[in-house]
Structure 1
Amino acid sequence: MYVPIMKNRDEEVRVIQTMNGYFNDSIIPMIEIYRDFYLTRYKTDEAGNYVYEKKPNSNRKYKIKLPPTDDDIITLKRIEEFLNGKKAFIDFFKFYANEYDDSRSFSNVELSIHLSRDFSYYKTRMLEIGDYKNLIPVISIKEGFNISEFDLIQLIKQLRDSNSSIAIRVTDGVFEEFEEVFEEYLTENDYLMLDIRNQNIDSKFIELEDFRDFETTAKKILLNSPRSRQLKNGDYEHLEFTKKINNKASILYKRYKLDGFGDFGGLKDDLPIDGGGGGTGTALALIYCKSDNAFYSIKHDDSSIGVRGYRFVRNDVLFRRWYFDSSNACTAMNKIEQMQVKFGNWATWNNITLTRYIQEQATK
């Protein structure tokens, strides 16, 4: 079983829409919700007609958009629509103060900040998941968040009332603290996910052996984030399989007799960057090949031209398409082929990386 982990950013949502045909009991995505989607409402008069206004330096009239309220939240409804009937794990995303560096755009993650600071609100949002039959709630336990054994048990029981399956995602540093709860309260319909984050999997053999031997009827899944947040695009190699992403988890989970693995599909476990990450920077493509279990790295080293470097990256990718996609069936390669005038930006190529990875994991 494979669990692609993605946040509900625009491009990752587009991947869900494009690739949901590959989702099944063997590939179930986990969506980390760090922001809400809202129903758009406009100001109306007493008769129910839209009220218009002119914007500065324009003769056109525009409807006046109302500020969103909690009553306008449609996050889970939208996600269910994107999934088109397929299952997904839902993790209302929390993070602690020093988990991400100061270049992150914390102004865009107000929901996550609220969830992180208010357990009662976190629990309320988690319980909403029970209204959607294809969504599986994920209780996330990690360093930096203190949850009592009592609160955890109560949350499991409340989620059980309206969900046929639940998942617990726990980092290796706090796993032992809750072992007795996992043993007693998880069933064969549930999922227990050991998250080693971005730690080197080769150094976690003791934890993995303990996880293998842990007695539970729940499905056991190994999660990790093998692409470092500290590395910049320019740090990667050119025209070779990168040694900077250790993708062993996708193989080792079988050796440890686990039921599946999950990762970020070649993306970083990161938050939005202030300014959107625009401007200068190295154009980079990471093309995953399952037969090699590695990412082929292609970049354009002139960082001064930023995303315009993707013109050259695209050409280098397509020159090697015979190796990446000998059957011309790859969705990501077709997307690259169709770039005739515009050649994408950082987000576009994140979409390509993740799209390719999911399709490759779906191949036998």
Structure 2
Amino acid sequence: MKYMPIFRYRASEKKNLETVNYSNKILPLVEIIQEKRKSNMKTTCFEDIIKYLNENDKQLLIDFPMYVKFKKRTVAGVVNFLSPILANPSLRLSYFDKFKGQNIIPVISYNPNVPLYQKGYLSKEFTHLRSSFQQIALRIFLSHAQEALNEAATHLKPGDIIIVDLDNTNHDDPMLVNFHSQIVSYAKKHMCKAVIVRSVISPDIANTKLTNNSIVNKLDNSLLIDYKKFGFDAFGDYCGIKKDELTDGGKSSPGCIFFHWWTNSYYGHKGVFEQPDTFTTMVAPSLVSSNQWIDYQTKSLLQHKDFCPGCKTVFNITKAREKGNSAPKWKIIISSHYLHTMEEFL
């Protein structure tokens, strides 16, 4: 494993997971944040994921995240599913039990947003899950990290995974140098893999502020390179897109942030606010005429455009073979391009 993409299991993320053919250099972390992706769905997220696992020779990390902060517009299904877990973390165990016999790694975690660490829950989860799952992951945050590591010390086994989630904090903050060293040493002591993850694209990045064919300077993707420097075994992020804020509503803001492997940078392309047709008339043409797009067609030994699901879709949109005026569709395009790029070049 070199890369751990994090998917909040909604419609776009499900599509991305199913369309990109990835190898064991990639180990996705799937966050289940509601019982059903849409309220009118006949199947639950549990059933959808189990179906995916049964049909594919893949392994997934599964988490029921406790770090999510609710907002006024947070999707009702998310609030209804996660609120009971926050009130009683032990509910996570019954959900993990649904995956017994499946090729998953359960992710043990805690709520980093409370002032006091809730001791005992991690031990309870380790004890319960160890009988059904040979490999377990521990997800820690900057808040309460030491308490969590202290509690987990007697439960970890060789081959387990320690995930350090920095949220939006930059990994090369000088204040974190000793923290990184501590985590890596701790992981080696317990013969575990250490993975560092962060959300690269911050919530304040808006398509309306993008400049066509220009680097989005606020986005620092250097963790892709630096994780090795700090001693971690792998890195992770939200797969080339913003961490889904899990809210309802919002207006159409055509645009995309396209990842370029050779500069390890993101480039912006935008349309006109509240005119979704400009995804097709402006965003797609701007993207396929860019030097970054051309690089993928000329420098990739595998003909990236022909194998990358996202780029194939963009090409089809420019040829009027597919409709391209949907923001969720472009979310899939950009995320699947990033995931395919990691598979191709890492």
TM-score normalised by length of structure 1 = 0.82
- SS state at 2:46 partner: helix
Q: Distance in 2 between matches of 1:9 and 1:77?
A: 14
Unaligned 5+ runs, structure 1: 41-66
1:240 aligns to what?
Answer: 214
**Which of 245, 260, 268 is the equivalent residue of 1:289?**
260
Q: Distance in 1 between matches of 2:241 and 2:153?
A: 33
- SS state at 1:144 partner: coil
Unaligned 5+ runs, structure 2: none
CA apart distance, 1:87: 0.3
CA apart distance, 1:147: 5.7
Q: Distance in 2 between matches of 1:363 and 1:128?
A: 33
1:268 aligns to what?
Answer: 242
- SS state at 1:316 partner: helix
Question: Superposed, which structure 2 residues align to 1:4-43 within 5 Å?
Answer: 4-19=5-20, 21-24=21-24, 26-37=25-36
Q: Comparing 159-168 with 303-312, which one deviates more in the overlay?
A: 303-312
Q: Which amino acid aligns with 2:258?
A: I
Question: Superposed, which structure 2 residues align to 1:323-362 within 5 Å?
Answer: 323-326=295-298, 327=303, 328-329=305-306, 330-339=308-317, 340=320, 342-362=323-343
Q: Which amino acid aligns with 1:335?
A: T
Q: Which amino acid aligns with 1:291?
A: W
Conserved? CA contact 2:117–2:147, under 8 Å: no
The answer to whether residue 201 in structure 2 is matched with residue 227 in structure 1 is: yes
State which structure, 1 or 2, has the greater radius of gyration over its C-alpha atoms. 1
Question: Superposed, which structure 2 residues align to 1:132-147 within 5 Å?
Answer: 132-145=101-114
Q: Distance in 2 between matches of 1:104 and 1:81?
A: 28
Q: Distance in 2 between matches of 1:76 and 1:325?
A: 38
Q: Which amino acid aligns with 1:359?
A: H
CA apart distance, 1:270: 2.6
2:180 aligns to what?
Answer: 208
- SS state at 1:119 partner: coil
Q: Which amino acid aligns with 2:22?
A: Y
Q: Comparing 106-115 with 353-362, which one deviates more in the overlay?
A: 106-115
Structure 1 residues 113, 293: CA separation in 2 closer, same or farther (over 3 Å shift)?
A: same
- SS state at 1:303 partner: coil
Structure 1 residues 211, 307: CA separation in 2 closer, same or farther (over 3 Å shift)?
A: farther
CA apart distance, 1:309: 3.7
2:284 aligns to what?
Answer: 314
CA apart distance, 1:344: 3.2
CA apart distance, 1:192: 0.5
Q: Distance in 2 between matches of 1:144 and 1:338?
A: 44
2:133 aligns to what?
Answer: 163
Conserved? CA contact 1:137–1:167, under 8 Å: yes
CA apart distance, 1:107: 4.8
RMSD over aligned Cα atoms: 2.5
Conserved? CA contact 2:110–2:122, under 8 Å: no
Conserved? CA contact 1:5–1:263, under 8 Å: yes
Q: Distance in 2 between matches of 1:73 and 1:303?
A: 35
2:82 aligns to what?
Answer: 112
**Which of 183, 195, 200 is the equivalent residue of 2:165?**
195
CA apart distance, 1:174: 1.3
- SS state at 1:193 partner: strand
CA apart distance, 1:30: 0.6
2:150 aligns to what?
Answer: 180
Q: Comparing 146-155 with 9-18, which one deviates more in the overlay?
A: 146-155
1:45 aligns to what?
Answer: none
Structure 1 residues 273, 180: CA separation in 2 closer, same or farther (over 3 Å shift)?
A: closer
The CA deviation string for residues 308-361 of structure 1, in whole angstroms up to 9 with x for no partner, is 344211011122332233223332111111121521321111111110111111
Aligned length: 326
Structure 1 residues 284, 191: CA separation in 2 closer, same or farther (over 3 Å shift)?
A: same
Q: Which amino acid aligns with 1:234?
A: T
Q: Distance in 1 between matches of 2:131 and 2:311?
A: 44
Q: Which amino acid aligns with 1:18?
A: T
Q: Distance in 1 between matches of 2:145 and 2:67?
A: 18
- SS state at 1:3 partner: strand
Conserved? CA contact 1:89–1:136, under 8 Å: yes
CA apart distance, 1:141: 2.3
Q: Distance in 2 between matches of 1:15 and 1:305?
A: 25
Q: Distance in 1 between matches of 2:277 and 2:256?
A: 11
CA apart distance, 1:307: 5.1
Conserved? CA contact 1:91–1:139, under 8 Å: yes
Q: Which amino acid aligns with 1:273?
A: T
Structure 1 residues 332, 149: CA separation in 2 closer, same or farther (over 3 Å shift)?
A: same
The answer to whether residue 300 in structure 2 is matched with residue 299 in structure 1 is: no
- SS state at 2:275 partner: helix
Conserved? CA contact 2:252–2:273, under 8 Å: yes
TM-score normalised by length of structure 2 = 0.86
